[in-house]
Amino acid sequence: MSDYQEALALPGLFASYPLLRRWWKTGINLVFPPRCAGCGRVDKIWCERCQAEMDAIPLDTHVDPHPPMTAVAVTGIHNGLLQQVQWALKYEYTPEVAIPLGLRLAERFAMLNWTIDMVIPVPIHTLRLRERGYNQAQLLGEVAAHKLALPCVPAALQRLRQTQSQVTLNAQERLANMQNAFEADPQLVSGQRILLIDDVYTTGATLVACAQAALDAGASAVYGLTVTSPRG
Ligand SMILES: [Zn+2]
């Protein structure tokens, strides 16, 4: 079984879709066959050509970590195919593409000598969760954690409040906006070395706020890993 099929069969991984939307989408697929999230070719949600193109994108993009994070890594720059596929994951209801992206995260992680006890995906707004039907960071985290044989513990981190959209804010405003937006469960994170997973690393404000919450709850170290970063 390929990594893709294995991840697709993970118990509970895609169980979070609201059933109605899934049925609705199945109905749509009878009329409009699925298109590849990377190139738009008909029949598959993710095609071999796009997988090959993604495999050719270098994995070693450098990112400076913001304290209190110990280190941060990304799998590439936010443009081209990686940007297109993340857009599809976030805005076009194609949770399946979390699989190639999650496996890419695991591949990036394998190049690092980080010692990690658990993976925690960055929580999204409950409103967004309701709109989208899933947390894209959680799908990425579940796939990567499964591949790395690490536990994925979404319950360890909660989003306490809805934050303002970050799009129009500068780096300083983003930090202020995210302050105290998260809370970690001391029973789950105390003494643990944590790997935070998210889709995009922009100013780092979200990961910093999550890392601070985990450290406040007793985590011993926090690392960050995202699919892309806008900067090289
Ligand atoms: Zn394709």
pLDDT in tens, 154-203: 999 999 876 667 777 787 777 777 778 899 999 999 999 999 999 999 88
Compute the distance between CA of residue 181 and CA of residue 162 in angstroms, rounded to an integer: 8
CA dihedral of 50, 79, 172, 60, whole degrees rounded to 10: 70
Separation of CA 51 and ligand 1 centre (Å): 7
Compute the distance between CA of residue 97 and CA of residue 199 in angstroms, rounded to an integer: 12
Contact 213, 182 (CB under 8 A): yes
Separation of CA 40 and ligand 1 centre (Å): 6
Separation of CA 209 and ligand 1 centre (Å): 35
Can you read off the two tokens belonging to residue 160?
A: 């306490």
Separation of CA 58 and ligand 1 centre (Å): 18
pLDDT tens profile 52-105: 999 999 997 878 888 999 999 999 999 999 999 999 999 888 999 999 999 999
Compute the distance between CA of residue 171 and CA of residue 204 in angstroms, rounded to an integer: 8
The whole-model pTM stands at 0.86
Phi and psi at residue 128, to the nearest 5°: -65, -40
Q: Provide the 10 A C-beta neighbour count for residue 175.
A: 17
Show contacts of 109-112: CB within 8 Å, 24+ apart: 109/73, 109/144, 109/148, 109/195, 109/225, 110/148, 111/59, 111/60, 112/71, 112/73
User: 3-state DSSP: the chain helix, strand, coil percent, rounded to 5?
Assistant: 45, 15, 40
Separation of CA 206 and ligand 1 centre (Å): 31
pLDDT tens profile 103-138: 999 999 999 999 999 999 999 988 888 888 899 999
Separation of CA 52 and ligand 1 centre (Å): 9
Separation of CA 228 and ligand 1 centre (Å): 19
Q: Provide the 10 A C-beta neighbour count for residue 155.
A: 10
Which domains, and CATH codes, for the chain?
3-228 (3.40.50.2020)
Return the pLDDT at 18. 54
Compute the distance between CA of residue 129 and CA of residue 113 in angstroms, rounded to an integer: 33
Q: Provide the 10 A C-beta neighbour count for residue 56.
A: 8
